[in-house]
Amino acid sequence: MTGVRAIELRLVGLPLVRPFRTSFGVEAEKLCILARVETEDAWGWGECVTGPSPDFSGEFNEGAWLVIRDFLAPALFAAGDVPAEDLDRVFGGVRGNPMAKATLVNAVLDAELRAAGRSLAAFLGAERDRVACGVSVGIAATTGELLDQVGGYLAEGYRRIKLKIEPGIDVERVAAVRTAYPDIPLSVDANAAYTLADVDVFRALDANDLLMAEQPLHFEDLLDHAKLQAEIRTAICLDESIRSAADAAAALEIGACRIVNIKQGRVGGLLEARRVHDVAVARGAPVWCGGMLETGVGRAANLALAALPGFTLPGDTSASRRYFADDITEPFEMAADGTMGVPPGPGIGVEPRPDRLAACTLRVERLEKE
């Protein structure tokens, strides 16, 4: 492949079909950056998983835009003809900012694979062409509303229900869902809202036969997660705490978790995500593919990743319609058996539809190699 000669950054906005409430806030609209890199041979797309504010992580849209524009793009242009595999080194002068880096790593990889006529799934080492889908259910106003939502998603075929929890909206809610649906695969996600002082909440949750409790404690506190894991039966899964393969190795080594949520954007892109997968597989820990309410561009990348052999649990890889009335790409549909097809085409296998892209775009900036 020849080097990247231009990058188009775009801020896009799409209304969500229902506001998504977590322990750190409510999102009613999906606002994110899409990057399109251009080489002599192909275009490649990358979706940045940052949101409007630095809540899930320290990165956020306007910050990521500047990091890409002022630091990562100049480094990429200066690097010339380098494969995506070398971008760790190219971006090595910029600390942190894995979500901003992932945007360009994934876009360059997509361009490379499109030029080679090879699918992302095949490149990553996928072993199946369909993946099992779960759904993440935001904190509802009432238990009745939550039960309605869960019932609707189960009727659509979702194979695992994940409930967002926060202090005070946890044990009773989860027990109500478990009572209504005694046999479904069920998990909870706290988005770091608890402390070790809340160990009794997690002991009480143990009674609900949960697949896992995701990110119960502070994202920087692996030791406390290890202490909590030693006190409860439910497997802890880490999300925010895992920013790299090294983090995953450390967390599994000290018993801070037994399961890893892999979000490629959170760990710096698809290549590091595959390394996280490999670390977990080597240690016998199951992984699954997390979601960040991505548009079809990010969803396509997630599906390819979720087809790797270590992804043995259903992911937050839901159908487009769970998020958007009209996605940016052709919508991703889930079959009635709760699986979704991995795009077989070159690269991520999908493109934004020009009319939808134009309608959703709030701002564009074109960066060119000098």
As annotated, the active-site residues are 164, 263
Out of 51, 98, 296, 346, the residue judged to bind ligand NPG by CB under 6 A: 51
What is the C-alpha separation between 270 and 121, in angstroms, rounded? 11
- Is the sign of the CA dihedral 282, 287, 291, 295 positive or negative? positive
CB closer to ligand NPG, 112 vs 189 = 189
What is the C-alpha separation between 190 and 174, in angstroms, rounded? 12
CB closer to ligand NPG, 80 vs 167 = 167
What is the C-alpha separation between 153 and 208, in angstroms, rounded? 19
Pairing relation of β-strands 6-22 and 236-238?
unpaired
Give every CB contact of residue 43 below 8 A, 6+ residues apart in sequence: 36, 37, 111, 114
Distance of CA 151 to the CA centre of its chain: 24
Query: Please, what is the Cα angle at 67 between 62 and 73, to 5 degrees?
Result: 125
Out of 103, 229, 295, 318, the residue judged to bind ligand NPG by CB under 6 A: 318
Out of 38, 112, 272, 316, the residue judged to bind ligand NPG by CB under 6 A: 316
Place of tokens 């899964």: 237
CB closer to ligand NPG, 56 vs 324 = 56
Nearest approach in angstroms of CB 294 to ligand NPG is 6
Nearest approach in angstroms of CB 109 to ligand NPG is 21
Mark 276-295 with x for binding to ligand NPG (rule: CB under 6 A) and - for no binding.
Answer: --------------xxxx--
Mark 222-261 with x for binding to ligand NPG (rule: CB under 6 A) and - for no binding.
Answer: -----------------x----------------------
The single-letter code of the amino acid at 89 is: R
Mark 77-96 with x for binding to ligand NPG (rule: CB under 6 A) and - for no binding.
Answer: --------------------
Do 220 and 249 touch, CB atoms closer than 8 A?
Answer: no
User: Phi and psi dihedrals of 278, rounded to 5?
Assistant: -65, -40
Nearest approach in angstroms of CB 25 to ligand NPG is 9
CB atoms within 10 A of CB 167: 12
Place of tokens 């901003």: 100
- Is the sign of the CA dihedral 322, 325, 328, 329 positive or negative? positive
Residues 5-24 that bind ligand NPG (CB under 6 A): 22
Residues 160-199 that bind ligand NPG (CB under 6 A): 189, 191
Do 291 and 136 touch, CB atoms closer than 8 A?
Answer: yes
Q: Is 320 in the site for ligand NPG (CB under 6 A)?
A: no
Nearest approach in angstroms of CB 77 to ligand NPG is 30
Mark 101-140 with x for binding to ligand NPG (rule: CB under 6 A) and - for no binding.
Answer: -----------------------------------x----
How many residues touch ligand NPG under the rule CB under 6 A: the total is 13
CB closer to ligand NPG, 338 vs 346 = 338
Grouping H, G, I as helix, E, B as strand and the rest as coil, residue 292 is coil
The residue ranges that bind ligand NPG (CB under 6 A) are 22, 51, 56, 136, 189, 191, 239, 290-293, 316, 318
